[in-house]
Chain A
């Protein structure tokens, strides 16, 4: 079944935030990297949930964002936009820089976020974009296997420059301690997922999330780089859907081992 994503726009704190929605069920808000907004993960979630994928102001086709002065500022914009889209408590899923924002959003809006899923979060121990790196080089570094990189299109150089400038200005990759101080304020069930071969986020990062976010689990996806949905889509879908459904009880086995009843 091919899902239809309906595009819309919502006003939030002076920004016009575009979004794409699909599916029915409990609400899920997704903050993705520009080039990963329509993936197998979105399709799988839309089969069970009402998902809203938001375009982070200053990314993708949106205007250059010079208004937001911090990650927290930008997170509050997203939080306002999400509140306009649903009055229910929602599952918040952020990927990469979107996960960095999601951490702040979950800490700022504990009454709205019922579960948090962070995919390759760049909030701490992130090396950032090395000066001089082209959009294509950066794109290629996101995958464990070159053939997987070819399944996605690298960002347009202008968009890449715009997004890199925004992330750099907001301190992504350089001021992780500020975000880390927010970890203790996240009380909803939280899953942080990392690719085993992520070249952008240190493998040391995962354990910090587990240590400092009170009700958290970490998952390591074997043979995946930073773009887990590109390298191991089935494994990512499995973890995210399972966690969305069962929260911290996803550690309890449900699959039958019965072979010949």
Chain B
């Protein structure tokens, strides 16, 4: 099994942010920002040195918690530091982006890394529907069409026009062509049936994030079934699980950290006003939305959102066993982990990466 560092590149003073999304840019001190990115890149370098297989970047907006709104830029910078490891953009939020631009970024990154790129296609979390003013009701359709267009753009040797439902381009001719033919490995991050089926039918990989083993298995079982119906069997690298982690020298130390975290009452990971959250959900699902009813039933400043849990917690042996469950039950071949947790500073992340490389990665290699 392979290990991937989810490089969050978090702003080091992120624990001082208010419980809002977006986080107002006034909280960003450029000097701290610059230092934070340098620290993040140091974490990437160490991950490569201690034996990680991939480093991943993800598109998130308007917050310093994962301030990589343009993941391809971040990936390019790290790729120049880390010369051997796979560079995974997991991924672009397709409904928000010009799909031709995404194809160009992926093709360029695959060239800059000489074929080390792994790409990812995602819809994005509900809050991100607000970024670039995309209608949440169109997110699913935009995602499906974008995936089709990006694959076509990366593989078509002649200029073409695209007459889509959401996208129309009269000239598409992506340069350069990818190093990996026909195109770099692509992971579809999803929990939805139509997108799981799309990944299976188009021989693309599958990414699942932050769910339990049981919940993940429901998704991967469908994926395996639909892959078989499409006449192929996914390789281990085709299934990626992203889960948050805290690893310490012992289970007791890890538990102590977690209890401290809980005592600090961490706020929601992506806090949204209840009205806004409900409006987005309603637009996504086509369900009813009663603005005035919601306002009447909500306290002033009502904010909703879930605190992000920890998927892998413990000493090295415990963490390895927890990861193995995803491998054994779900067929996961790559585990992608954000180490930048609340109450863990840069030095703490570096210490964890050293420990993970020394004590956990050798165990992952056994399965």
Which residues of A line the B interface, CB within 8 A?
193, 196, 206-207, 210-211, 217-223, 232, 235-236, 238-239, 250-253
Contact = CB atoms under 8 A, between A and B. Distances in A.
A232 B156 CA distance: 22
A219 B163 contact: yes
A218 B163 contact: no
Interface residues of B, number: 18
Most buried by B among A196, A206, A232: A196
Nearest to B171: A251
Contacts of A221: 163
B145 A223 contact: yes
Given A223-B145, A251-B170, A206 B164 contact: no
Contacts of B148: 196, 222-223
Please list the 8 inter-chain residue pairs (A to B) with the smallest Cβ-Cβ separation, ordered nearest first: A219-B161, A210-B158, A251-B170, A222-B164, A207-B158, A235-B163, A221-B163, A251-B171
Nearest to B169: A251
Contacts of A206: 156, 158, 160
Contacts of A219: 160-163
Nearest to B159: A210
Given A222-B145, A223-B145, 18 more contacts: A206-B156, A207-B157, A211-B158, A217-B160, A218-B160, A218-B161, A219-B161, A219-B162, A220-B152, A220-B162, A222-B164, A222-B165, A222-B167, A236-B163, A238-B163, A238-B168, A250-B170, A251-B171
B239 interface: no
Given A196-B148, A223-B165, A210 B160 contact: yes
Contact of B152 (A193, A196, A217, A253): A196
A165 B330 CA distance: 52
B149 interface: yes
Given A250-B170, A251-B170, A222 B163 contact: yes
A236 B163 CA distance: 8
Nearest to B155: A203
Nearest to A252: B170
A222 B149 contact: yes
Contacts of B165: 222-223, 232, 235
B168 to A, nearest CB: 8
B173 to A, nearest CB: 10
B158 A235 contact: no
A53 to B, nearest CB: 23
B39 to A, nearest CB: 40
